[in-house]
Structure 1
């Protein structure tokens, strides 16, 4: 909690989300070619950010799930595999969809495709549109542009669904003033102008990668 009242919350993140843009660039894929196999320390090498080397063991452990791995003697060489990434993303979507339904009964009441779109939309905060979101939407037979227009519900909606339903349907009183069902005057949401979402962070990481 800061003096201005702002609150920073950190939650566990699958490290694959962080390494994905780095490994994608590192394979130097051209057209339909699969790209190059490279060692982990070579993939993470960056003169401007030498501390990347501290992540070698974490990357080696986590990225085997989405990479082809070749061993030559004691050396391991990695190349990102699109089909493995897609399988991993589909698994993430299904877990997220299940979690949404458990957290909020309103998700269980709506069509499965709508819940699927919202799950992909939330996941999209961690991914670049090209190629991963487009690949995922194509596999799930969803329209990318339509899906990303979906606004993920706020955490408060998931934790307190009965409160969010009441406050999301204000009625107008005299003079055109909007009031919520609990008798309080509704407030206009203030647009956040200095937001730095996780997608921006991953975009910066991918630009720094070799």
Structure 2
């Protein structure tokens, strides 16, 4: 086996205290997705959206990677072949654990994007609608995250990695969000084996040849240990 491509979703960061938009009582539960995670919501009320992402940025800054993140970093460091992580998460926990080959298909909370000229820069802890772009000076700063209705980043690169994979692994994803929900089928058509590691079966569980269910902090380190023992 020469190449492992791993998709991670909100489930891998949940044990680090970062809730998903399906969790009750968290940040997402206080807002409609349409209001805080769409271009239309940002156009209607940029102050609300900026405040929401300021809170998420603060929450992510306090979080620490868990055993699943550390296990994937170990896999990348010790596996003889290539390991590529494609994450739907906008936190930086993979990098904090030591992973280097990470593709953020939904952007990052640490980034700012000018909605006017497209310039990118490091986001401050707090952003506001009056925050000016350092390149064009327009007050058009927004979080550099992919909202519903927008195209995820790096898709051509991701499809290529999937086509080159010997093994595709999905960790902590619901299987509800496309195009990521189609990754397993794409990799399988290209000849890859497929494995789902999840708390419970995802809605596209049938797309995987194998599955293991449980907490990510438990089943991911176990799987990594098995892979490295066979290598």
Per the normalisation by structure 1, the TM-score is 0.33
Pick the structure with more strand per residue: 2
Question: Structure with the greater relative contact order (CA < 8 A, sep ≥ 6): 1 or 2?
Answer: 2
Pick the structure with more helix per residue: 1
Per the normalisation by structure 2, the TM-score is 0.31
